Amino acid sequence: MKKKSIAFLIGSLGSGGAERVVSTLCNELAEKYKVTVITFAKKEPFYKLDPKINQIYCLDKIEPSNTFLDTIRLNLKLLKTIKEKLQNENIELIIGFLTRGNILAVLAAKACKIPVIISERNNPYTVKLSLLWKTLWKYTYPKADCLVVQTKIIKQYFKPFVKEESLKILANPISTELTLARNKKITKKKVILNVGRLADQKAQSLLIKAFSALNTEDWYLHIIGKGPKQKEYENMISELGMQERIKLLPPTKSISNHYNSCSIFAFTSIYEGFPNALIEAMHFGLPCIATDCPTGPSELIKNGENGFLIEMNNQKQLEDKLNVLMNNETIRNNFSIKAEKSVEKFQAIHIANDWEQIILKIMK
Q: What is the DSSP string of 139-198?
A: HHGGGSSEEEESSHHHHHHHTTTS-GGGEEE-PPPBPHHHHHH--TTSPPPSEEEEES-S
> Which among 295, 290, 238, 284 is positioned nearest to 262, based on CA atoms?
284
> 303 exposed, middle or buried (CB, 10 Å; 0-12, 13-18, 19+)?
middle
Same fold, 4-173+347-362 and 182-345: yes
Bridge-partner residues for 328, per DSSP? Answer: none
Superfamily of domain 4-173+347-362, CATH level 4: Glycogen Phosphorylase B; (3.40.50.2000)
Cβ–Cβ under 8 Å, residues 83 and 108? yes
> What percent of the chain shows pLDDT beyond 90?
86
Indicate if the pLDDT at residue 216 is higher than 90: no
CA 342 to chain centre: 19
pLDDT at residue 132, as a whole number = 86
Answer whether residue 201 shows pLDDT above 90. yes
In terms of C-beta density within 10 A (0-12 exposed, 13-18 middle, 19 or more buried), how is residue 101 classed? buried
Q: Give φ, ψ of 236 to 5 degrees.
A: -60, -45
Distance from C-alpha of 161 to C-alpha of 172, rounded to nearest angstrom: 24
CB atoms within 10 A of CB 193: 26
- Stretch 221-248: mean pLDDT, rounded? 97
Strand partners, 94: 7, 116
Instruction: Read off the pLDDT of residues 62-115 as tens digits, 9 standing for 90 and up.
Output: 888 888 888 899 999 999 999 999 999 999 999 999 999 999 999 999 999 999
Positive or negative CA dihedral for 157, 71, 199, 18? positive
* pLDDT at 215 exceeding the cut of 90: no
Q: Name the helix (H) or strand (E) containing 35.
A: strand 33-41
DSSP state of 300: H
pLDDT for the residue numbered 99: 92
Per-domain boundaries in the chain: 4-173+347-362, 182-345
CB 289 within 8 A of CB 277: no
What pLDDT band is residue 364 in, cutting at 50, 70 and 90? Answer: confident
Q: What is the dihedral of CA 26, 27, 31, 36, to 10 degrees?
A: 40
Give residue 16's pLDDT: 86
Averaged over 225-244, what is the pLDDT?
Answer: 97
pLDDT tens-digit series, residues 155-184: 999 999 999 999 999 989 999 999 999 999
Mean pLDDT of 260-276: 94
**What's the first-to-final CA gap in the chain, in angstroms?**
16
Which DSSP string do the residues of 195-262 spell out, in sequence order? ES-SSGGG-HHHHHHHHHHS--SS-EEEEE--STTHHHHHHHHHHTT-TTTEEEE---TTHHHHHHH-
pLDDT of residue 124: 86
Query: What is the predicted pLDDT for the residue at 281?
Result: 98
pLDDT of residue 65: 82
pLDDT band per the 50, 70, 90 thresholds, residue 126: confident
Residue 259 has pLDDT above 90, yes or no: yes
How sure is the predictor about 130, in pLDDT bands with cuts at 50, 70 and 90? confident
- Place 230 in a pLDDT band, splitting at 50, 70 and 90: very high
Average pLDDT, whole number, for the chain? 94
CATH class of 182-345: alpha beta
Q: Is 214's pLDDT higher than 90?
A: yes
Mean pLDDT of 39-52: 94
CA 17, distance to chain mean position in Å, is 2
Whole-angstrom distance, CA of residue 291 vs CA of residue 271: 9
For 317-340, the pLDDT digits (tens) are 999 999 999 999 999 999 999 999
Tell me what pLDDT residue 357 has.
96
pTM assigned to the model: 0.88
Structure confidence at residue 274 (pLDDT):
85
Predicted local distance difference test score (pLDDT) of residue 315: 98
Contact 259, 232 (CB under 8 A): no
Long-range contacts of 183-186 (CB under 8 A, 24+ apart): 183/256, 183/260, 184/285, 186/260, 186/261
- Cα angle: 104, vertex 14, 352; to 5 degrees: 70
Mean pLDDT of 113-123: 93
Q: How confident is the model at residue 293 (pLDDT cuts 50, 70, 90)?
A: very high
Tell me if 178 sits within 8 A of 280, measured CB to CB: yes
Cα separation, 109 vs 95, in Å, equals 9
